[in-house]
Amino acid sequence: MSRGVIQPSQQKLAEKLTILNDRGIGMLTRVYNIKKVRTHTHMFPIYWHLSVAVISKAVGVMLVL
């Protein structure tokens, strides 16, 4: 086995880690945006507050777990 050859199991693991990393970055971006919206709620219409409250509560529950 030479060092330059990647085994199929190593390739699958690398792909899974890449996907997990991309999803993690996306989730952190969404949480950041929700937090940003929560601090500046006066900038959005009334109906937006209702959906933000529901989403914020769900994100809070997810972060506790």
The amino acid at 15: E
Q: What is the CA 45 to chain-centroid distance, rounded?
A: 25
Whether the predicted model's global pTM rises above the 0.75 cut = no
The rounded distance, in Å, linking the Cα atoms of 14 and 8 is: 10
Q: Report pLDDT for 50.
A: 61
Could you read off the pLDDT tens digit of each residue along the chain, which spans 65 residues? Answer: 456 788 888 889 989 899 888 888 888 888 888 888 777 766 666 666 566 667 777 777 777 65
DSSP H stretches of helix in 1-65 = 8-39, 46-64
